[in-house]
Amino acid sequence: MKDIQIARIESVIVDLPTIRPHHLSMAVMRNQAMVIVRLFCSDGIEGIGEATTIGGLSYGDESPEGMKLTLDTYIAPLLQGKSALSVNAIMTLLKSHIKGNNFVKSAIETALLDAQGKRLGVSVATLLGGAVTQTLPVLWTLASGDTQKDIEEAHALLKNGRHNTFKLKIGRNDWKTDVRHVSAIKEAIGPDVKVTVDVNQAWSESIAKQAIALLQEAGIDLIEQPIIKTNFDGLARLTQYFKVPIMADEAAGTVSDAYKLAKIGGGSVFALKISKAGGLINIQKQAAIAQSAGISLYGGTMLEGTVGTVASAQVFSTLQLDWGTELFGPLLLTEDIVKTRLTYQNGGMEIPQGPGLGIALDMNQVEKFKRK
């Protein structure tokens, strides 16, 4: 195959409305802003990627506006004219010239893999070694902030079969209020339905001990990131203290984080997110570290739209995920920017099977929702 170059890279911010406000400990999401990357190659093939975060700068140190600026000002000129055929070479170049900025690096890697998959006529999962499944289990987050509404929403989803596992976002309220909220929902939907909670770092270690004890007693199945991400030792102490599994999410952001946590037993489950890790290939590295240490895996999300969700699904399909995924981001959106929306049913998501990511942008929708 003759050398094929990156001709140009374009990025656009799209703002998509959501079905309801989505409450997290650090923000209330009322719409989703996504940076869509289009990578054009000299052979006429286009690869797409997505960089998405939650609540502007309230979640992490990258924002949609900052990501677009980084892409347009630094990454696009750096990569123009470079070979599009070696993802590893491009990512090594980015690592040496661009510090941090894992979200935009993930979007670039996704676009490169999408283009190469299209070029070879195979899926991104095939490029990564091959899928072990064509569907992924997907939970649903109950995050309206209202106990009764969450109960009604859970019952409706159980009845229509779309989801059979639920996560509750807590941490904005007093911890005792949150525990009552969670316990009431768990009791209402029954012991046979798996319920997890995500605290998003909101508790101190001392409060976490009190709250997790009550949540464990209430039958909650998994506790996600109860304390600040930098307190690795505290996460290890909580993991050892409780029977209920403790999941490292924000703490397990990078390959380096995964290694440090695995050494001290900081979490019995790791949440994998392509944006935080800086790409799909790094997810496989994190997974290898976790599994060698006996730590289970969970497929996380930054509430990406369909492009980022499918990118995650492609790499997750190559792994054994004991705790499933939360790739429900597209279900939060009232509209989409792809030609064919994803299929969710029977508690899971069907992974597109076409070349590359297996999806295509609807440019009319992109134009409709792009930020002016």
Active site residues: 169
* Token code pair at residue 213: 């004890």
- The Cα–Cα gap between 370 and 33 comes to 9
Task: State the DSSP H helix or E strand holding residue 18, giving kind and residue range, or none if neither.
Answer: strand 6-23
Sign of CA dihedral 153, 156, 158, 160: negative
Residue 336's closest CA among 309, 317, 358? 309
Q: How many CB atoms lie within 10 A of CB 305?
A: 22
Torsion (CA) 183, 184, 189, 193 in degrees, nearest 10 = -10
Sheet holding 194-198: strands in order across? 140-142, 165-169, 194-198, 222-224, 246-248, 269-272, 296-299
Distance CA 223, CA 65 (A): 32
Q: Which of 355, 370, 366, 362 is nearest to 45 (CA)?
A: 355
Q: Quick one: tokens of 336?
A: 């989409």
Largest CA distance in the chain: 63
Instruction: Concatenate the DSSP letters of all residues of 121-136 into one string.
Output: T-BHHHHTT--S-SEE
The Cα–Cα gap between 293 and 264 comes to: 10
Give the C-alpha separation, 126 to 109, whole Å.
15
Strands 46-52 and 135-137, sheet pairing? unpaired
